[in-house]
A and B are shown apart, each in its own frame.
Chain A
Amino acid sequence: MSDFTPDIRAFVCHYTSQQSCAAGAEGMVTDGFPANVRLARQVCTGKLKVSTLLAAFEDGADGVYVVGCPADTCHNAMGSQRAAKRVLAVKKALSELGVEPERIEMFHLERGLHPEFIATAQQMDTRIRALGAGPFKGETA
C-alpha cells in the first residue's frame, strides 16, 4: 500500500461548516475528518476567486475542494452557484494543462450536516490517494 498522504485544501462555507468546526480540529479528526485536509473557512464560497483555487495547487496541493450551500438555498442567494462555476473553470483549466480535473471538486451541503461534511473530506481523500501525487511539484521559480 502506498504511503502517499495527499495535501488537500478545502475551502468551505462559513455556514455549511459551522457545526463541524464547532467540534474543534481534534474533535473533527476523532470523528474521522482526515488530518491531511486543510480547512480554509470562507465568509461565502461565492467570494472565492479562480486564482485562489489555482494558488492552492501552486502551493503544493494535490487536491482541492469547495463546500458550499445547496445551490438553490445559499445563505447569500447565489454564492455557492458562483463557486461552482469557478470550480468548473479550474476543472477546464486543469484539463487544458493535461491534469485530471477530478483533482478539484465542488460539493453542496445542507447546513449542520456534520457526518456528510466529514464524508465529503473522506471522499476527496480517497479520490486523491487513488490519483496519486499532483503533477505540480516541480521546482519553484
Chain B
Amino acid sequence: MIIAERKPIDEIMAMLTGVKRLLLIGCKGCVTVCSAGGEREVEILASLIRLGRKKEGEPIEIIEAALTRQCDKEYVDAIDQWDGQYDAIMSMACGVGVNFIANLRPVATVFPAVNTTSFGGSQLQGVWTEQCAGCGNCILHLTGGLCPVARCAKSLMNGPCGGSQDGKCEINPEVPCIWQHIHDRLHRLNKGASLTAIMPIRDWSTAGHGGPRKTVRDDLTL
C-alpha cells in the first residue's frame, strides 16, 4: 500500500490561513490502512484544526468526509455534493488523491494534509517499512523476492557495498543490508550460483526518469 503520515500541525495551520470553511476529506484506501488519512484521522485532524483556530480566535467550519478512493474520478465526483459550502479542500489522501482533485476541480483550492512516504507494508503494529520503489522494471525474480532498488540505500544491482557490516547497512545499524539478505536467501533456496551473473547497467527510464509514467490497457479503454 501507499504509506503516508500526517504533516505537522503548524504546516497545516499555515496552509489554512484565511480559510473559513474547509472540506476535509480522507480516503478509505491505503491511508486508512496505514492510519494516516482515513475517517478516524479526519475526525482527529478536524478537531485539532478547530482547536488551533479557537486558540487564535479565528473559528473555522469544517465538513468532514472520507471518499471510497481519491484516485478514481467516479469517487472524486462525490465532492460535488458540497459545492458552495467550502473555501478550500484539504485532502488526507496520498499525493495521488491531491493531484486527482486538482486535475478534476480546476478552480478549487486543494491542500495536502499528509506527506506520502513510500510503498510499503506493516512490519509490526504501528510500524511500516518501504518495500517497493515503483521503478517500473521489476527484478524481484532475480533477487529472491527482495528489492535492492527500494531496500538498498544505494539501489545497487550487483551485491553489497563496502558499508555492509554484520548484515546491517552503514546508514543506520537498524537497517538490514538487503544484499546480505538476498545472498542468504538465494543460498537457502539453492540458487546462490545465480549471484555470479552480472546485472547490466540499469535503464532508469521506467522509473520516472523519462517523465511522468502512463499505463494504457487497450483491453480496458473505451
Contacts and interface: CB of A to CB of B under 8 A. Distances in A.
> Which label, helix, strand, loop or mixed, suits the secondary structure of the B interface?
helix
A83 to B, nearest CB: 16
B28 interface: no
Interface string B49-85: 0111111111111100000000000000000000000
Given A138-B56, A139-B57, A57 B51 contact: yes
Assign chain B's interface to a size class.
20 to 34
B115 to A, nearest CB: 15
Contact of A49 (B40, B54, B61): B40
Contacts of B44: 50-51, 54, 93
A97 interface: yes
Contacts of B200: none
B43 interface: yes
> Which label, helix, strand, loop or mixed, suits the secondary structure of the A interface?
loop
B57 A138 contact: yes
Given A141-B60, A141-B61, A136 B47 contact: no
A82 B57 CA distance: 33
Interface in B58-117: 58-62
Interface of B: 8-10, 40, 43-44, 47-48, 50-62
Interface of A: 49-51, 54-55, 57-58, 93, 96-99, 135-141
